[in-house]
Structure 1
Amino acid sequence: MRQHAKTLWFDRMKYVHMEFCVEESTDVKVDIEDDRMVFSCKNEDGVEMYNEIILYDLVQPKDSRERRSDRSITCFLRKRKEKVPWPRLTKDPNKPAWLSVDFDNWRDWAGEEEGEMAQAEEYMDLINKAGERGPPPSMDDLDDLDFTTTVVSCAPAEWKPDVGGKKETLQGFNVVLKDTVLFPEGGGQPDDRGLMNDIPVLRVTRQGPEAVHFVQSPLEPGSEVHLKLDWERRFDHMQQHSGQHLVTAIADLMFGFKTTSWELGRQRSVIELDTPMLTADQMVAIEARVNEHIRLHVPVNVRVYSVEDPAIDSVRSRGLPDDHTGPVRIIDIEGIDANMCCGTHVSNLSDLQVIKLLSTEKGKKNKTNLIFLAGDRVLNYVGRSHAVEKALTSLLKTGPEEHADAVEKLQKSAKQLQKNNLNLLRDLAVLIAQNFKSGAGKSRLFCLYRKDGDNEFMNIIVNEIGTEETLLFLTVGDEKAAGLFLLAGPTEMVAKLGPRVAELLEGKGAGKQGRFQGKANKMSRRSEVEALLQESVSELSTKEE
């Protein structure tokens, strides 16, 4: 049975919204194509209702969605050409304020009355839940969730993570799924981790509206996969991110300090504040206020708006990404802050448990970095600090209150011992040089190794012996590890032999005015260097004779 269905039109900058009034309907089907939309259902009497709508302009089916409520079906059609009104859906002051008729009627949002805006809120809530598979799974039980979805695409890829300060290349595959519960990195928040058919998901990134999962095993497009979220990592990120929103809001409300950026780190998080200084008293005041709000169990709500909604202008934001598509997500801490954000958050401030502001450091361009911890990270920090405190108590034989004084005394004692040791080394260097110069039949090559020496020790010996007639090769440091070397003597010999000495010691050095010195990575090869130098000195003596 073909017939007109009641519908409401909304022509917006990026979307056209349509609501079909289909009470008590069953077998609802909506198929959105580039230039048309097919809608069908059965009413409460079992009569089939069918509508094939030829659209006024082209839409993007992939970014279009529909959602069923108790009394209607709402479709969100993403325009191919943004900010271009559709024919017969343009402004006309002579039209009635609200229409509920057939498909030849229109409705745009310019000049909404306050009462009509209240009705329109229903559409905003629906946008957040719209999707081909219905609403996403609840976040309350994701640690036990076995979420099933479908592989859309799987392409070979590589990833170069930073492992211990070095880039490591991993070969794998970029997988796009029809739906996902894994958050892609963005908004200052790292990405989620989890399993995909028991395959570890090593990275999740965002490319336009898609979440791209990096795995090291291929998956067949069209096949079903089971996702398992690493809930411990997710919840930690939720605590830190919601904690950042709260600290940012309170710093602004109390002192007018704006947040310009933030970073959720592995051990600690950092908020960059637009102020050259944050005093100790200000830190105490901010920390007290944020923890007061945590104790008050303040709700944290997620609200979704279309891009053109004027409500967006009243929230804190650094702007939308250039490739943003779809509705805008607002994180609302009741009575405290409303902020545009794509990240994951707790539903109540009480889930943060506690926030600790650790310290501040000088930031870039006259700004201040505020370092903080939230939730379980505070508990872990206290545990680590207590373990260190116990170890120091055992080593220093004093109570925690006296640790600082005890360490200060040890530092002074160590400095004095180091000073005494240096003085002894200088005296020893002079004695070694004098002993060599006073020896009978003085050699033209002097070699010396000492484990506890330094550059000053070697230079004193060279200065005392002189370099006009003698070639000196001195090394200091651990014989089984790296150390320092110094080659000194006649300028031509040093210039010729210096690079070869560094090569044998597998180190590097530089020469200047009859001296070549640097770092030695293979101290154990000293004997090879000494043999080379002895041969060179012998050749020189033969030539002179």
Structure 2
Amino acid sequence: MCEEAEFSQPAKTQWYDRKNYVFVEFCVEDSKDVSVKIEKFRLIFSCKTADNTDLYNNIELYSKVDPNDSRHKRSDRSITLFMRKVEGKRAWPRLTKDKSKFAWLVVDFDNWRDWFNDDEQMIDMEHYANMLKDLKDAEKPPTMDDLDFETTVISCTPAELTTTFNGKDETLKGFNVILEDTLLFPEGGGQPDDRGFINDTPVLRVTRRGAEAVHFVQSPLEPLSKVQLKIDWERRFDHMQQHSGQHLLSALAESMFGFQTTSWEMGRQRSSIELDTTSMSSEQVEALEKATNEKIREHIPVNVRVISVDDPEMQQIESQDLPDDHAGPIRIIDIVGIDANMCCGTHVSNLSHLQVIKLLGTEKGKKKKTNLFFLVGNRVLKYAEKSLTVEKALTSLLKNGPAQHVEAVERLQKSAKLLQKNNQNLLRDLALLTAKTFKNDANKGKLFILHRKEGDNEFMNIIANEISTEVVLLFLTVGDEKGAGLFLLVGQVNAVEALGPKVAEILDGKGAGKQGRYQGRASKMSNRRKVEALLQRYVQMLDTKEE
């Protein structure tokens, strides 16, 4: 690669050579009217200095690039370029120092990283991933679907991962893998971890251990081997939208109402921020939603900067304390003109990538605080799609339009309450009639057994109160015969204490007893006939003793 320049403006520059791309990042302080043109074999740059001096530079590229799939982005202090190689998977040679040439482009050779040399460490992937995001147009979300990233396995050790599946904890056996570089974000800062693949092996968890990212997989990988790394981009971009949306919401909630954010949580379906206020009115929620969406429409850049721990700027950054095992520089997420905050998470490069923010409402939080729930971007679209599906179903069921749904449901609720009240009255009358019929039966025995699908606790207790003194044992059950239900065992104290736990065990349920009553819930009402047989044997045993 050679360099030619008519004017000079020295700038410390970083080059990143990947298999299919070349990235260039250089500083252009105190400049204006910046113009970058990427051609097939060269890069043309021009700008004006603070004193209106015109600068022009022409860099001949080593090999052909695709101008249609190349772009650049200007931030406050730098230019970042993304150039797609026409001949992919071919390394460009390392730059060679040539002190005889004086050009505005001053290369920092210690920052050169290529994919071809084994003895060179690869670039910091967190920086690399954010660079990818920053290079995309503000009007459309970024994509990393065609990203071809190769790295080296540093270590692979046996490990276990405990996960929850269908409400039950499950322990998976596998391996903890540490890579030389990674695209995958480890969980932290309120953001869940990424998912992806190492070669064809799924990465099930990524955690942080000091400055290292630990990848859990279920197949071993050979240390020092080269591997391909792929990211679940849909999951990553969703996390970027929610996290950047949280930064925007928190910043505006504080500037508009003085509500500071004390914590936040990114859920699978919705996210929330905890605000240091006892309440938030519906008018404030509406105003905050309107303000955040206005900022999204303004296409405000979101910049990522890195500063040292002892940088004076740290005194001006609103942030929580660093973790005890933090190592290296500090990463600042800067929503230009709105918020600058220390953060380790992944973010969009422009607020327009958030698409839209929807606030779902608030609820009381802990310690006199308020939780505000929200959706960002694609989650809003999915929420709208789901709501539309429900609306169509209700329209079909209620036989009216969406505007009349609430009125129709209110009428149904009133009708259901009236039916429920009438049903309870009928059950009471039926319970009294059942008890009266039994007491008037001249051939009634010492055991009374009854099952009624539509009954409830009150139904069973009315019968028990009316005839418990007439029998030795009374066993009542209500509920679906093939499902779960309720049971009640009433009788002599000694008999109930002995038989109650056995009844609960047979019905696969739980119960409690006191003063001749044992009642509870049954999981398998179909086993009630086994209980009836048990009680019949008990009563027969008593009859035998009396004889």
Q: Do they superpose with TM above 0.5?
A: yes
Which of 114, 122, 134 is 1:133 aligned to?
122
Q: 1:309 to 1:490 in 2, by over 3 A?
A: same
Alignment of 1:64-463 (within 5 A): 70-72=106-108, 132-134=121-123, 136=125, 137=128, 138-140=131-133, 141-463=143-465
| Whole-Å separation in 2 of the counterparts to 1:416 and 1:71 | 82
Q: Which runs of 5+ in 1 are unaligned?
A: 1-40, 47-68, 76-130
How many Å apart are 1:299 and its aligned residue?
A: 0.6
Q: Which runs of 5+ in 2 are unaligned?
A: 1-94, 112-119, 134-142
Write out per-residue CA displacement over residues 78-135 of structure 1, whole angstroms, 9 at most, x where no aligned residue.
Answer: xxxxxxxxxxxxxxxxxxxxxxxxxxxxxxxxxxxxxxxxxxxxxxxxxxxxx93235
How many Å apart are 1:493 and its aligned residue?
A: 1.2
Q: 1:251 to 1:458 in 2, by over 3 A?
A: same
How many Å apart are 1:542 and its aligned residue?
A: 2.4
Letter in structure 1 aligned against 2:123: G
Q: 1:82 maps to what in 2?
A: none
Q: 2:44 maps to what in 1?
A: none
Contact in 1 for aligned 2:468/2:474 (Cα 8 Å): no
Letter in structure 1 aligned against 2:325: D
How many Å apart are 1:45 and its aligned residue?
A: 8.1
| Whole-Å separation in 2 of the counterparts to 1:45 and 1:524 | 91
Write out per-residue CA displacement over residues 23-52 of structure 1, whole angstroms, 9 at most, x where no aligned residue.
Answer: xxxxxxxxxxxxxxxxxx986489xxxxxx
Contact in 2 for aligned 1:298/1:350 (Cα 8 Å): yes
| Whole-Å separation in 1 of the counterparts to 2:278 and 2:210 | 36
| Whole-Å separation in 1 of the counterparts to 2:212 and 2:542 | 74
| Whole-Å separation in 2 of the counterparts to 1:43 and 1:480 | 83
Write out per-residue CA displacement over residues 321-340 of structure 1, whole angstroms, 9 at most, x where no aligned residue.
Answer: 11000000000001000000
Q: 1:263 to 1:420 in 2, by over 3 A?
A: same
How many Å apart are 1:469 and its aligned residue?
A: 3.9
Equivalent residue of 1:342, what SS? coil
Contact in 2 for aligned 1:194/1:227 (Cα 8 Å): yes
How many Å apart are 1:74 and its aligned residue?
A: 6.2
Which of 511, 534, 541 is 1:539 aligned to?
541
Equivalent residue of 1:373, what SS? strand
| Whole-Å separation in 2 of the counterparts to 1:154 and 1:255 | 50
| Whole-Å separation in 2 of the counterparts to 1:43 and 1:418 | 88
Contact in 1 for aligned 2:439/2:470 (Cα 8 Å): no
Letter in structure 2 aligned against 1:166: K
Contact in 1 for aligned 2:446/2:470 (Cα 8 Å): no
Write out per-residue CA displacement over residues 218-272 of structure 1, whole angstroms, 9 at most, x where no aligned residue.
Answer: 1011111101111111111101100000000000001110000001111111011
Equivalent residue of 2:367, what SS? coil
The alignment-based identity, stated in percent, is 67
Equivalent residue of 1:358, what SS? strand
Letter in structure 2 aligned against 1:147: F
Alignment of 1:34-53 (within 5 A): 44=98
Contact in 1 for aligned 2:481/2:526 (Cα 8 Å): yes
| Whole-Å separation in 2 of the counterparts to 1:465 and 1:181 | 74
| Whole-Å separation in 2 of the counterparts to 1:418 and 1:326 | 66
The structure with more strand, counted as a fraction of residues: 2
| Whole-Å separation in 2 of the counterparts to 1:502 and 1:379 | 49
| Whole-Å separation in 2 of the counterparts to 1:507 and 1:385 | 38
Contact in 2 for aligned 1:467/1:490 (Cα 8 Å): no
Q: 2:503 maps to what in 1?
A: 501
Letter in structure 2 aligned against 1:374: V
Equivalent residue of 1:191, what SS? coil
Q: 1:135 to 1:158 in 2, by over 3 A?
A: closer
How many Å apart are 1:70 and its aligned residue?
A: 2.7
How many Å apart are 1:519 and its aligned residue?
A: 1.4
Contact in 2 for aligned 1:469/1:490 (Cα 8 Å): no
Write out per-residue CA displacement over residues 139-193 of structure 1, whole angstroms, 9 at most, x where no aligned residue.
Answer: 3442211210000011111111122322111111110000000010100111111
Equivalent residue of 2:333, what SS? strand
Equivalent residue of 1:185, what SS? coil
| Whole-Å separation in 2 of the counterparts to 1:521 and 1:353 | 48
| Whole-Å separation in 1 of the counterparts to 2:502 and 2:490 | 14
| Whole-Å separation in 2 of the counterparts to 1:237 and 1:161 | 20
Q: 1:90 maps to what in 2?
A: none
| Whole-Å separation in 2 of the counterparts to 1:281 and 1:345 | 29
Contact in 2 for aligned 1:275/1:366 (Cα 8 Å): yes
Letter in structure 1 aligned against 2:132: M
TM-score normalised to structure 2 length: 0.76
Write out per-residue CA displacement over residues 340-391 of structure 1, whole angstroms, 9 at most, x where no aligned residue.
Answer: 0001111111111111111101111000000011111111111111111111
Write out per-residue CA displacement over residues 299-331 of structure 1, whole angstroms, 9 at most, x where no aligned residue.
Answer: 100010000101011011011111000000000
How many Å apart are 1:455 and its aligned residue?
A: 1.1
Letter in structure 1 aligned against 2:122: R
Contact in 1 for aligned 2:124/2:181 (Cα 8 Å): no
Write out per-residue CA displacement over residues 494-531 of structure 1, whole angstroms, 9 at most, x where no aligned residue.
Answer: 11111121122222211111111111222222222111
Contact in 2 for aligned 1:468/1:489 (Cα 8 Å): no
